[in-house]
Amino acid sequence: MLKKHVFAIVLFAALVIIPFTIGNNTDVHNVIIYMLIYAMVGEAWNLITGFTGQTSFGHAAYFGIGAYTSTILLENFHITPWIGMLVGGAIAALLAFVVNFQMFRLKGHYFAIATLCVAEILRIIFSKWKYVGAGDGIALTPINTLVPGSPKSAWGKIAWLSLDVRDRIPFLLTTLAAFVLIFVLCLWLENSKMGFYWKAIRESHEVAESVGINPRNYKLAAMCISAFLAAVGGTFFAQFFKYIDSDTVFPLSVSMIFVLVTVLGGIGNVYGPIIGSAIYYSLELLVRRLTGGSGSGLNLIIFGILIVLVTCFEPQGIIGVVKRIQGHFTDRKERGEGTVETHT
């Protein structure tokens, strides 16, 4: 079992070690944190699209719900983001159930467009809703500026409890731990009975129904779990970015990042989101370092070219490329052993 997932073990170990070896390199810390947050939501998106075959372009809706819920509970009620994360996840899962109960009657691109509409409706509502800051959004109060003795100040002294980003390394390690938990959960779901049913539905609704599987019920379960995990990613994003508004967390561009990093890494595979996210944010850091600035979108151009190449030549993404190379060497090894046996 461990041998099968040696790549994941090495990757997670490297992500633990790197922050301590690069000193106070804020750029690298930020890239790793963003990479992990978007990989979290990529795993969530992969559950509904990669495993059940229902393409969603509206996962920013659940991401935004998580971000807003945890932020409002923190700012207005001094409730720790950990509780806010669970509440946001529950609200996102409930929203997913209510909205998709009827939407799952739609298929293909009709369903994808409907999910996009849900996210856009939420973006408009939150941009007008004064309680959540309307168009001005919400800025999180720095913990070190709070009145000493206030509830938020008290638990804010413990970095992991408050999700305080003043010290990047504790926040990075907390984010990594959350991603590892989500990764393990998705891996378990993939190999569970429910995961088997999801894949059967993805391959053929009719065949799944013929063996007694209810496609809508199992797709609803996948969407609710997916929405909850996306909201968790939204909470980490809000605590890291320290400011949210409707145009930051709900737009199509946010949903598309979740889609594209997963497609590049390998859709339908738990390793896909983290690989795609690592490439996306490593490109951003590399281009910024080489150009001495924002990169003027050069990283997006390179990433776009990679997406085109992958979708044209290897639909399984980077994972598919690795498997193809691995298969090539395995075949050569087997042919070599066969030749030796023949001569013997």
- List the structure tokens of 136: 């001005």
Q: What is the CA radius of gyration of the chain?
A: 21
CATH class of residue range 26-273: mainly alpha
Output the pTM of the full model: 0.90
Domain coordinates in residue numbering, the chain = 26-273
Residue 219 makes CB contacts below 8 A (sequence gap 6+) with: 48, 52, 54, 100, 104, 198, 201
Of the candidates 192, 191, 209, the residue with the CA atom closest to the CA atom of residue 200:
209
User: 175 Cβ partners below 8 Å, 6+ apart?
Assistant: 33, 36, 37, 236, 240
> Residue 138: beta bridge partners?
244
Closest of 132, 2, 143, 7 to residue 76, by C-alpha: 132
Distance CA 163, CA 226 (A): 22
Q: What is the mean pLDDT of each run of 10 residues along the chain (344 residues)?
A: 69 80 81 94 96 95 97 89 95 97 90 96 95 90 56 52 68 91 95 94 91 93 98 95 94 93 93 93 84 70 87 86 79 64 50
DSSP-assigned states of every residue in 300-326: HHHHHHHHHHHHHH-TTHHHHHHHHHH
pLDDT at residue 300, as a whole number: 80
Which tokens go with 309? Answer: 């190449």
CA distance 10 to 343: 40
